[in-house]
Structure 1
């Protein structure tokens, strides 16, 4: 049983920083380094898709200084990350709404996707300004206009980057056991795994541990 799509709800950056007597922004900075480590590990393991839930539509409600820092961090790092991924034959995709995201970051995200568009290895997806309900609503609106009807097939066809397959395994860090709107459509039959460690504490070896856990599961898909 091969794991084709791994989803990671990257939770606990701020709590990791607090427990290490660091400012919140250091947690986000460390979290970004963890993402790079895990993408490389997923690519080495041959996982076709790995998706990180990094900023939800609800996260705009956090302190303005924290949100501003996250946006600036994304602006300064996204092209460098894309170039590094391209060098390792990893494709980068951004899933989410453009609403509220400043035009500069939107433009940089498009450039980042362009840099890696010809890569044929692992695809690393980032759910940024993402809400699972919003994705389905957006897909339904497009389906009505383009198809004239809403069916499971027409909604799936118009999800953000519809080429991204359903999730096989969802991992959430920090001990929280909830989905928080992460890829609601694609998570319908996913396996779930909850880790006590904070996201910045994840290591490359955790990818192999997740693969082994996934192989031990018996997926029946309702049968």
Structure 2
């Protein structure tokens, strides 16, 4: 598929795993597992469309408030995914970067993430930004505090340099699956001029054709960057 205009970064809010599981009559964790398989498929599709960056909202800072059993299952699935499930993506040349506050993650989860980040550091096919234990407001506060420690004028650029996502381009496109129409504390600073796309499809059912439809619609929009 040819892109009408270049896309440097796509952000996706992966919504609908739990509802998918409920509709299918399977455990909630199976919905999350199916969602991970969809993530791998879409990451490959994004790479094939020559988009160099993909940011995905995997686990928000608010998700810690979910039932303890579900959170524990998610952390186990995350370890399983990072240790084994992402090996093929890394072998295919993708770089994995974790973005968020790691303080609440178990030590073995942090170690697994650090290992795959190190292993994939020289890969250039696609940078997959995993937003994990992430909240955009917390990111902005942390960046403002770090920037404020410098002498001189506090500027947007100075704050940006201290963001957790400082090396990630602002997303041209943000997609939310699952039918909800809100950003839910995802990349609020970076989304200032992003084109937003809300889709009714649940994340485990999101397909390459859905991605292509978004990219095509993006090509037909006029971006004014606030003008």
Class of the TM-score when normalised by the shorter of the 2 chains: over 0.9
Which residue, out of 5, 10, 15, partners 1:11?
Answer: 15
Of 72-81 and 113-122, more deviation after overlay is shown by 72-81
Match in the other structure for 1:34: 38
Looking at structure 1, the residues matched to 183 and 152 of structure 2 have their Cα atoms a distance apart, in angstroms, of: 31
Q: CA RMSD in A?
A: 1.2
Looking at structure 2, the residues matched to 146 and 32 of structure 1 have their Cα atoms a distance apart, in angstroms, of: 40
Match in the other structure for 2:184: 180
TM-score, normalising length: structure 1: 0.96
Match in the other structure for 2:196: 192
Q: How big is the shift at 1:60? A: 0.5
Looking at structure 1, the residues matched to 58 and 150 of structure 2 have their Cα atoms a distance apart, in angstroms, of: 30
Match in the other structure for 2:97: 93
Q: How big is the shift at 1:32? A: 0.5
- Conserved in 2, the CA contact under 8 Å of 1:14 and 1:24? yes
Match in the other structure for 1:61: 65
* 1:108-154 alpha-carbon deviations (Å, 9 max, x no partner): 11111111110111111111000000001111111122456532111
Equivalences for 1:18-167 in 2 at 5 Å?
A: 18-146=22-150, 150-167=154-171
TM-score, normalising length: structure 2: 0.94
- Conserved in 2, the CA contact under 8 Å of 1:147 and 1:154? no
* 1:26-77 alpha-carbon deviations (Å, 9 max, x no partner): 1101000010000011111111111110100000110000000000111111
Structure 1 unaligned blocks of 5 or more: none
Looking at structure 2, the residues matched to 114 and 89 of structure 1 have their Cα atoms a distance apart, in angstroms, of: 13
- Structure 2 residue 202 is matched with structure 1 residue 202: no
Secondary structure of 1:99's aligned partner: helix
Secondary structure of 1:3's aligned partner: coil
Tell me: CA distance 1:30–1:82, structure 2 relative to 1, closer, same or farther (3 Å).
closer
Tell me: CA distance 1:219–1:64, structure 2 relative to 1, closer, same or farther (3 Å).
same
- Conserved in 2, the CA contact under 8 Å of 1:11 and 1:198? yes
Moved over 4 A (4+): 146-149
- Conserved in 2, the CA contact under 8 Å of 1:85 and 1:116? no
Secondary structure of 2:133's aligned partner: strand
